[in-house]
Amino acid sequence: MNGMNGMTPNAMNRRSLLAALAALPLLQSGCASWSAPALEGSGDLGVVVERARGTLAIINTSRRELVAEVTGLGDLSHASVVFSRDARFAYVFGRDGALSKVDVLQRKLVARIMQAGNSIGGAISADGTLVAAQNYTPGGVKVFDAQTLELVADLPAEYAPGKLSRVVGLVDLPGRRFAYCLFDANAIWIADLSDVRSPKLTKLQNIGKSPYDALVTPNGRHYIAGLFGEDGLALVDLWEPEPRVRRILDGYGRGQEPLPVYKMPHLRGWAVAGRYAYLPAIGRHEVLVVDTQSWQEVGRIPVAGQPVFVIARPDGRQIWVNFAVPDYDRVQVIDTPTQKIVATLTPGKAVLHMEFTPRGEAVWISSRDDNRVSVIDTASLQTLAQLQIDAPSGIFFTSRAARMGF
């Protein structure tokens, strides 16, 4: 016959053990030396690059406060960040070629390697196992194990004997794949690292002059490279069995005198809102509106200066735009149903970056020369908080961990 209440001895032992464990905190609470660890989820967190002193500021997006700083990250003058799948680790790509792994929960640097001489960004694979860095010097892409930062693949961007191209526009694709542009070779390469010991490269040549950056659409289907050397963009449909390049928006500036370009605009999937993509026009004070079904231009929105970042609020209702010098103290807000500018804000000197909270109720804006990050309510456009952070530039929230191309 079983024990009390029909339970077996093993079940009674398990119940006794669970009861003892449940009581343990109550027993320990009387000890002056014991304290419960503070638990915090990573979903509330983000990082701000402090570019002048090689530091990463860790911030809490709900409390709108600075919670820690991680130092010793080198040259962060053009730094970018991606996150691990569990949103715990930030991988920081420094301009000096360093790749750093930061634990945002324990608030410390856990690994750092020098992987190149000059690097401008990177990506993490869809399965979270590979981190890829895009490099200027030497030109190419290096791929690392996300756990250990051990080098697992080296992909030189050699487009002619002894000639290496600078790499830009690196994004993650579905599967263990990456797409990127060769700025000096007018090419797009797609790397399949299903087997890291034998990477497969698809090389698309003569895509247009000087691709400077690129985006992948949120569904992972289209890769679009902006062209610095000519009016137009290069589009690749990644769902095709044999990807090929198609030119879109060809000659969008035809008949107009281009303006000097003071800062390269950026392209990323954040510019896609519903059916439309909102893209910065090179050398023009305009945002281009593109139908993502036909990839035809359907409108242009005049803006205050040369756009650098054109970012859609997560629900697609608003587009926020910042600018190159001399207009980089301003941010403009576009209402997408009317495609009209509804507000011009001046959050501070030298606005370098903007980042929406995951559901878009607020946007964080860095003002480098005022050493300030402003948090603005996207409905009322009122300032909710201001954080004093030294020379802030890039802002990256852990919600990026769940998004392609971020």
Whether residue 213 is contained in a domain is answered as: yes
More reliable by pLDDT, 206 or 16: 206
Note whether 124 and 196 are same-domain residues.
Answer: yes
Token code pair at residue 161: 């004997």
Q: What is the pTM of this model?
A: 0.89
**Complete DSSP assignment for 258-270:** PPP-SS-----GG
Nearest-angstrom CA–CA distance, 152 and 142: 8
pLDDT of 2 strictly over 70:
no
Among 295, 327, 346, the domain boundary falls at: 346
Q: What is the mean pLDDT of the chain?
A: 90
* Residue 288 placed within a domain: yes
Residue 376 token pair: 């603005």
Answer with the one of 203, 231, 261 that is the final residue of a domain. Answer: 261
In a domain, 77, yes or no: no
Indicate whether 254 and 282 sit together in one domain: no
Rounded to 5 degrees, what are φ and ψ at 289?
-110, 125
Quote the CA–CA distance of 74 and 96 in Å, as a whole number.
7
Domain match, 119 and 255 both = yes
Q: Which two tokens stand for residue 295?
A: 């990839």
Ramachandran assignment for 17, one of left (phi > 0), alpha (psi -120 to 50 degrees), beta (any other) = alpha
pLDDT tops 90 at residue 22: no
Q: What is the C-alpha separation between 348 and 280, in angstroms, rounded?
A: 22
Query: Shortest CA distance to 48 belongs to which of 25, 26, 64, 33?
Result: 64
- The answer, yes or no, to whether residue 35 has pLDDT greater than 50, is no
* Per-residue pLDDT at 17: 47
Query: What share of the chain has pLDDT > 70, as a percent?
Result: 88
- Helix, coil or strand: residue 235: strand
In angstroms, how far is CA 158 from the centroid of its own chain?
26
pLDDT of res. 24 = 43
Distances (CA, A) of 302 to 251, 341, 378: 18, 9, 21
Task: Return the pLDDT at 256.
Answer: 61
- Which among 162, 165, 169 is positioned nearest to 186, based on CA atoms? 165
362: in domain: no
Q: Is residue 237 part of a domain?
A: yes
Q: What is the pLDDT of residue 251?
A: 80
Residues 231 and 268 in one domain: no
Distance CA 399, CA 359 (A): 10
Domain that holds residue 305: 264-346
Residue 198 lies in a domain: yes
Q: For residues 180 and 193, what is the distance between their CA atoms, to the nearest angstrom?
A: 14
Does one domain contain both 122 and 254? yes
- Mean pLDDT on 201-206: 97
Q: Are residues 191 and 295 in the same domain?
A: no
- Together in a domain, 229 and 277: no
Say yes or no: 127 and 228 in one domain: yes
Mapped to the 3 state alphabet, what secondary structure does 164-207 carry?
ECCEEEEEEECCCEEEEEECCCCEEEEEECCCCCCCEEEEECCC
- Within-domain flag for 31: no
Q: Are residues 294 and 239 in the same domain?
A: no
Nearest to 84 by CA among 68, 104, 66, 65: 104
Q: Report the domain count for the chain.
A: 2
The answer to whether residues 288 and 271 touch, using CB atoms and an 8 Å cutoff, is no
- Do 178 and 203 reside in the same domain of the chain? yes
Cβ–Cβ < 8 Å for 162, 179: no
- Six-digit token string for 231: 């009016």
Sort residue 208 into left (φ over 0), alpha (ψ -120 to 50) or beta: left
Helix (H) or strand (E) holding 18: helix 9-28
Name the percent of the chain in helix, strand, coil, to the closest 5: 10, 45, 45
- CATH number for the domain that contains residue 216: 2.130.10.10
Whether the predicted pLDDT of 254 surpasses 70 = no
Q: Which residue, of 261, 285, 319, is where some domain finishes?
A: 261
Amino acid at position 57, single letter = A
- Strand partners for 44: none
Residue 234: half-sphere exposure toward Cβ, Cα within 13 Å: 30
CATH number, position 342: 2.40.10.480
Together in a domain, 125 and 252: yes
Tell me if 280 is assigned to some domain: yes
255-289 pLDDT per residue, tens: 466 656 667 778 876 788 889 999 998 888 999 99
- pLDDT exceeds cutoff 50 at 23: no
237 & 321 share domain:
no
d(CA 291, CA 25): 59
Q: What average pLDDT score do residues 344-350 get?
A: 97
Q: Phi, psi at residue 16, to the nearest 5°?
A: -65, -40
- Which candidate, 36, 60, 56, 13, places its Cα nearest to that of 397? 60
Contact indicator for 399, 78 with CB cutoff of 8 Å = no
